[in-house]
């Protein structure tokens, strides 16, 4: 019997169901874990994703043929039974469970074990084989609770206000930006958003996610009409001429990579907040333990180190051959 | 330790100069005196004696965190800083937060060197379990030495001058020399007049930038003095109170290492300070850097080396004359005084005038530059005739115009991932040249390509790995790179028998198949000519 899932140059493939998971070349049938660009690519004939992922997916990929499922709902595709389970990474993100003749495999996509108040919280999926990401698969990556981060970010906002500076917070426009919106304390002042952040936020607001009010930064907008405001923008806007309109600014960047001093300094932002949509070291280890899987395939990140570690822990673990790993894009971290 | 950690966070949290200086000045004005003194010492490269080796620290931290050695190593490879890696992998602090000051911590550390391992480990573990993440990182930095945290000596001097309301140049002078917090007090460092310390105190070195445009842009040749840029150790020879002192640019006292200069007070008057280059000397010309290198690591020099590689100071500049600080005078005047001083020296004095290269136009000078290697020089130095002797690096008056590097085309045979931001890129490569049918590795290089090129080569390495040795991947030998380097010397420790100075990738030779890469014979020829 062929394995439930195999790694091909188009992506993860299920021979029994003749479909791909997060393929990076055009295929007939694509199951999409979530709407980040390195997982959801254009050009496939048919897409299947969660209902919660659908609005942003449509917003990003335009007019695609998209079917949706709810978390936990099963579908039969060929000889395979598939279901989507919360991955806790961004709203609508899923781990995809595939069962063929009683053998269960699960492809995690990207995941985060700690709840963030916006994404449906991560649920472990019992399986025989687990395909895990390892973006932060080294023991130097450990996150603090969201409450700590919230007070750190809000304190930074307040300090900027007192110093007469406009704080500009850089974060990826889908996922990280909205999570920050839930952490920011609107009592401190108004929140202004860059267009890239605003449009995605608006899509998610319309679908009913609890997001605070924001003001879109337009060319006509005057910063003095919004005293004490904080600006939320994609990382590419930090340091660009777009910043000119805000007077004296102080910048910060929010990402798991901010854990490392070298990266923090090279970012050349005034401050780095360690906040990630991916599981940290402890999260990866507990998630894998909770699947009960014997076999673990490691993709996306520190694959060599992390699979060696898992092997030491008694798993039958291996990095996914790198030529099939797709290119690594700095989309979300 | 808390206030020192706060200072660090403030400095580390900004890329701008003014907030850094302000944070430092504030600290110097408010912290307890011993802490200030230690901070000055740490930021000017003075480190406490090691309480533990890095190997021990890795092992201890790994055992506490229950991580295997290789994973600590892999983590270090990504983080790029051992002190930080260990601070991050250790479990959260468990005991009451420690309230000791920076000086308390350093005093505790100072009792540890030489003690048995269990004792040192217990002390370090106690610290780890009571310090927060930033403090723990700083503590690890204190143990491992090397306190570079984005504050230059110049900025620290400025902050110190601001906090103590003293002249910046005066402070810069006072910080020079080989004092330690154990031999110094805050008051003596900043305020007191100590004739003995002042007698030995060097001036801050004036440094040059690399010339990055055509020399014609410098203006009239008459305004400039040209001389060779020698490949030795920049040094400052001080004669005061009938004693001599020899300082390196790194502010290390080299007096005992070069006994040749003990005679200097015999023929130089008191109150003389000369800037020059210490070179190994062979009758009438400098020897290659490798000859001098044999003497660098030694505190005292065996007789044999003294005869094999005698030292000479090639004088560039005069900073003090007759006890008077003349750094503000124009270079032309200082040089004239230097010449007058040296012209009367006996022939066997270990001191000569670095010759001036006369030139009427820039084209002539460019021709001279091409012969630098034959002179055993690295290139040319250009000094504006009217320039004062500046403190540190200043743009505009002094330029180094180095020779184009030597180069050879080589085949990439091994690749390794980089550190930090480059941890997911292959950036460290080993290169080989042909020796008959075989490829012989001869150098590593890890800089010189663009980020895009590193990205391309990374994708290629992933798909063309033949074998793995730990983090090192052997790759199919197909890519040819031009390797540029500054010097070449014989090295029995290397398989190829040669070692390069400052090798880097100058160009990715997409146009060359591996069969057209260089040979060991070519390297040996370069060695014979320039080694
Ligand atoms: Zn993602
Ligand atoms: Zn991803």
Residues A71-108: pLDDT tens digits?
999 999 999 999 999 999 999 999 999 999 999 999 99
- Mean pLDDT computed over A45-68: 96
CB contact under 8 A, B74 and A302: yes
Going along chain A, which residue ranges are E strands? 6-8, 11-14, 19-21, 29-31, 46-50, 66-69, 74-77, 80-86, 94-100, 103-107, 129-134, 166-170, 191-193, 215-216, 230-233, 249-254, 271-273, 295-301, 316-319
A17 and A45 both lie in a single domain = yes
Query: How far away is chain B from the Cα of A262, in angstroms, using its nearest Cα?
Result: 6
* Distance between CA atoms of residues B287 and B376, nearest Å: 7
ipTM: 0.93
**Does residue B467 belong to the interface with chain A, where contact is any CB pair within 8 Å?**
no
| pLDDT surpassing 80 at residue B151 | no
Per residue in A111-126, pLDDT tens?
999 999 999 999 999 9
pLDDT at A154 over 80: yes
Establish if A261 belongs to a structural domain.
Answer: yes
Same domain (yes/no): A136, A159: no
Q: Which residues of B touch A141 (CB under 8 A)?
A: 88
The pTM assigned to this predicted structure is 0.73
How many A from CA of B470 to the centre of ligand 1?
Answer: 30
B89·A140 Cβ contact <8 A: yes
Q: Structural domains in chain B?
A: 2-144 (1.10.3260.10), 206-402 (3.30.470.30), 406-530 (2.40.50.140)
pLDDT at B150: 67
Answer yes or no: is pLDDT of A143 > 90: yes
A contacts of B84 (beta carbons < 8 Å) = 260-261
Q: Which residue of B has its CA nearest to A142?
A: B88
CATH number of the domain enclosing A51 = 3.60.15.10
What's residue B420's pLDDT?
60
Let me know if residue A180 belongs to a domain.
yes
CB proximity list for A59: less than 8 A, separation 6 or greater: A199, A200, A203
| Residues of chain A neighbouring B65 (CB-CB closer than 8 A) | 139
State whether A167 and A256 are in the same domain: yes
Q: Which residues of B touch A317 (CB under 8 A)?
A: none
Question: Confidence class of residue B83 from pLDDT cuts 50, 70 and 90?
Answer: very high
- The CA-to-CA distance between both ends of chain B, in Å, stands at 50
Choosing from A273, A288, A315, the residue where a domain stops is A273
Q: What is the pLDDT of residues B406-437, one digit of tens each?
A: 899 999 999 988 766 566 788 899 999 999 88
**B61 near A CB under 8 A:** no
| B438 contacts B451 by C-beta, under 8 angstroms | no
- Mutation site, A252, A258, A305, interface B, largest B CB count within 10 A: A305
Question: Which segment of A168-177, B68-77, B164-173, B401-410 scores lowest on mean pLDDT?
Answer: B164-173
Q: In this structure, are A115 and A261 located in the same domain?
A: no
- Roughly what angle, to the nearest 10 degrees, separates helices B17-30 and B153-164? 50
What is the domain count for chain A?
2
Which of A262, A268, A323 is the closest to B80 by Cβ? A262
Please tell me whether residues A171 and A249 are part of one structural domain: yes
- Mean confidence (pLDDT) of chain A: 92
Which of the residue ranges A7-16, A179-188, A293-302, B192-201 would you say has the lowest mean pLDDT? B192-201
User: Which band of pLDDT confidence, cut at 50, 70 and 90, is reported for residue B526?
Assistant: confident
pLDDT digits (tens, 9 = 90+) for B8-47: 888 887 777 888 899 999 999 899 999 999 999 888 877 7
Q: Based on the domain organization, do A227 and A193 belong to the same domain?
A: yes
Work out whether strand B406-417 and strand B426-435 pair parallel, antiparallel, or are unpaired.
antiparallel
Cα(B210) to centroid of ligand 2, in Å? 44
> Is A18 contained in some domain?
yes
- The beta-carbon neighbor of B67 closest among A139, A261, A265 is A139
Which residues 238-267 on chain A approach chain B with CB closer than 8 angstroms?
259-263, 265-266
User: Are A244 and A99 contained in the same domain?
Assistant: no
CA gap B343, B332 in Å, rounded: 16
Residues of A in contact with B89 (CB under 8 A): 139-140
Residue B318 to chain A, least CA–CA distance (Å)? 40
A221 vs chain B: nearest CA distance in angstroms?
A: 28
- Does B80 contact A308 at a Cβ distance shorter than 8 Å? no
DSSP, collapsed to helix, strand or coil, labels residue B430 as: strand
Residue A326: the pLDDT is 43
- Asked if the C-beta of B482 comes within 8 angstroms of chain A's C-beta atoms, the answer is no
Both A150 and A219 in a single domain? yes
Check residue A328 and give its pLDDT.
Answer: 42
Any chain B CB within 8 A of the CB of A144?
Answer: no
For chain A, the C-alpha Rg in angstroms (whole number) is: 20
Among A245, A273, A301, which residue terminates a domain?
A273
Helices (H), B180-224: 186-190, 195-200
In a domain, A181, yes or no: yes
Contact state of A265 with B13 under an 8 Å Cβ cutoff: no
- Where does a domain end: A254, A273, A292? A273
Residue B388, pLDDT > 80, answer yes
pLDDT band at A64 (very low <50, low <70, confident <90, very high): very high
Which H or E run contains A151?
helix A146-162
Expressed as residue numbers, the domain containing A253 is 146-273
pLDDT attached to residue B463: 81
Same domain, yes or no, for A49 and A69?
yes
A217 and A120 belong to one structural domain: no
Nearest to B522 by CA among B410, B404, B402, B444: B410
What is the arithmetic mean of pLDDT over B400-406?
A: 87
A173 with A247, same domain: the answer is yes
Chain B contacts of A302, Cβ < 8 Å?
74, 78
CATH of the domain at A201: 3.40.50.10710
| Whether A267 and A151 share a structural domain | yes
pLDDT value of position B176:
76
Q: Give me the total of CB pairs closer than 8 Å, taking one residue from chain A and one from chain B.
A: 64
User: What pLDDT score was predicted for residue B14?
Assistant: 75
Average pLDDT in chain B: 88
Query: Which of the two residues, B461 and B330, has the higher pLDDT score?
Result: B330
Burial of B512 (0-12, 13-18, 19+ CB in 10 A): middle
CB contact under 8 A, B150 and A270: no
pLDDT of residue A106: 98
pLDDT at position B212? 82
A23: in domain: yes
Distances (CA, A) of B143 to A253, A312, B76, B82, B414: 31, 31, 17, 11, 33
Query: CA B187 to CA B327: how far, in whole Å?
Result: 27
Q: Examine the pLDDT at B493 and tell me if it is beyond 90.
A: no
Q: How far is the CA of A111 from the centre of ligand 2 (A)?
A: 9
Alpha carbon of A109 to ligand 1 centroid (Å): 7
Residue B70 to residue A308, Cβ atoms within 8 A: yes
Nearest C-alpha neighbor of B137 from the set B79, B182, B67, B50: B79
**Residue A325 has what pLDDT?**
44
pLDDT digit string, tens, across residues B44-70: 877 788 889 989 999 999 999 999 999
8 Å CB contact between B523 and B496: yes
State yes or no: pLDDT of A327 exceeds 50.
Answer: no
Q: Which residue has the higher pLDDT, A236 or A12?
A: A12
Is residue A1 situated within a structural domain? no
Percent of chain A with pLDDT over 90: 81
Q: What is the largest CA-CA distance in chain A?
A: 68
**Ligand (nearest to CA of A329):** 2
């Amino acid at each position: 019997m062929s394995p439930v899932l195999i790694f091909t140059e188009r992506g993860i493939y299920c021979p029994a169901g003749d479909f791909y998971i997060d393929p990076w070349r055009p295929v007939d049938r694509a199951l999409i874990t979530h709407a980040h660009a390195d997982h959801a690519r254009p050009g496939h004939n048919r897409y299947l994703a969660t209902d919660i992922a659908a609005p942003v997916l449509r917003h990003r990929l335009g007019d695609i043929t998209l079917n949706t499922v709810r978390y936990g709902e099963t579908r039969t595709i060929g000889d395979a039974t598939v279901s989507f389970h919360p991955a806790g990474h961004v709203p609508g993100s899923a781990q995809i469970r595939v069962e063929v003749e009683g053998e269960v495999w699960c492809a995690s996509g990207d995941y985060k074990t700690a709840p963030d108040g916006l994404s449906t919280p991560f649920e472990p999926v019992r399986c025989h084989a687990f395909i895990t990401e390892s973006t932060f698969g080294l023991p130097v990556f450990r996150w603090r609770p969201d409450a700590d981060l919230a007070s750190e970010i809000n304190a930074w906002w307040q300090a900027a206000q007192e110093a007469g500076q406009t704080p500009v917070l850089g974060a990826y426009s889908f996922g990280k930006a909205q999570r920050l919106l839930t952490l920011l304390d609107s009592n401190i002042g108004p929140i202004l958003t860059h267009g890239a952040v605003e449009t995605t936020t608006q899509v998610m607001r319309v679908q009913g996610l609890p997001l605070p009010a924001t003001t879109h930064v337009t060319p006509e907008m005057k910063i003095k009409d919004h005293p004490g405001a904080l600006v939320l923008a994609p990382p590419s806007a930090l340091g660009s001429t777009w910043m000119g309109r805000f007077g004296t600014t102080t910048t910060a960047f929010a990402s798991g990579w901010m854990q490392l001093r070298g990266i923090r300094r090279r970012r050349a932002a005034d401050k780095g907040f360690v906040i990630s949509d991916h599981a940290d070291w402890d999260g990866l280890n507990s998630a894998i333990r909770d699947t009960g899987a014997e076999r673990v395939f490691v993709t996306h990140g520190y694959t060599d180190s992390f699979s060696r570690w898992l092997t030491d822990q008694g798993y039958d673990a291996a990095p996914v051959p790198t030529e099939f790993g797709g290119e690594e894009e700095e989309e979300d971290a | 330790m808390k206030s020192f950690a706060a200072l660090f966070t403030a400095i580390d949290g900004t890329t701008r100069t003014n907030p850094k200086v302000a944070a430092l000045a504030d600290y110097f004005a408010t912290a307890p005196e011993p802490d200030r003194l230690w901070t000055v010492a740490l930021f000017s490269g003075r480190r406490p004696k090691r309480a533990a080796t890095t190997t021990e620290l890795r092992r201890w931290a790994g055992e506490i965190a229950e991580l295997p050695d290789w994973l600590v190593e892999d983590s270090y490879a990504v983080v790029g800083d051992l002190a930080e890696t260990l601070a991050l992998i250790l479990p959260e602090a468990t005991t009451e937060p420690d309230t000791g000051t920076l000086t308390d911590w350093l005093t505790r550390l100072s009792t540890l060197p030489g003690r048995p391992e269990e004792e040192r480990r217990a002390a370090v573990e106690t610290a780890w379990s009571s310090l927060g993440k930033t403090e723990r990182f700083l503590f690890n930095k204190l143990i491992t030495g090397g306190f570079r945290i984005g504050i230059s000596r110049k900025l620290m001097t400025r902050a110190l001058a601001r906090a103590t309301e003293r002249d910046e140049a005066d402070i810069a002078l006072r910080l020079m020399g080989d004092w330690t917090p154990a031999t110094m007090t805050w008051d003596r460092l900043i305020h007191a007049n100590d004739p003995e310390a002042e007698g030995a105190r060097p001036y801050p070195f004036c440094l040059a930038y690399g010339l990055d445009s055509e020399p014609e842009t410098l203006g009239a040749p008459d305004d400039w003095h040209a001389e060779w840029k020698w490949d030795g150790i920049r040094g400052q020879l001080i004669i005061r109170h009938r004693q001599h002192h020899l300082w390196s640019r790194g502010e290390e006292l080299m007096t005992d290492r070069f006994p040749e200069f003990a005679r200097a007070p015999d023929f130089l008057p008191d109150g003389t300070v000369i800037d020059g280059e210490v070179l190994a000397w062979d009758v009438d010309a400098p020897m290659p850097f490798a000859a001098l290198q044999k003497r660098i690591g030694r505190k005292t020099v065996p007789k044999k080396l003294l005869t094999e590689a005698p030292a000479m100071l090639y004088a560039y500049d005069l900073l003090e004359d007759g006890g008077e600080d003349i750094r503000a005078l124009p270079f032309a005047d200082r040089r004239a005084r230097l010449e007058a001083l040296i012209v009367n020296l006996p022939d066997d004095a270990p001191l000569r005038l670095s010759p001036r290269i006369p030139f009427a136009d820039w084209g002539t000078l460019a021709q001279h530059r091409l012969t630098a290697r034959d002179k055993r020089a690295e290139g040319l130095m250009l000094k504006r005739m009217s320039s004062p002797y500046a403190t540190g690096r200043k743009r505009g008056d002094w330029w180094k115009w180095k020779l184009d590097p030597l180069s050879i085309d080589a085949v990439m045979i091994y690749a390794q991932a980089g550190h930090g931001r480059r941890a997911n890129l292959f950036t460290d490569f080993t290169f080989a040249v042909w020796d008959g049918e075989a490829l012989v590795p001869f150098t590593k290089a890890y800089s010189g390509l663009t980020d895009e090129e590193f990205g391309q080569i990374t994708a290629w390495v992933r798909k063309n790995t033949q074998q793995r040795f730990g983090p090192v991947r052997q790759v199919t030998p197909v890519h040819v790179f031009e390797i540029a380097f500054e010097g070449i010397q014989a090295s029995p420790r290397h398989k190829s028998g040669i070692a390069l100075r400052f090798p880097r990738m100058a160009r990715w030779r997409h146009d060359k198949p591996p069969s057209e890469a260089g040979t060991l014979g070519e390297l040996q020829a370069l060695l014979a000519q320039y080694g």
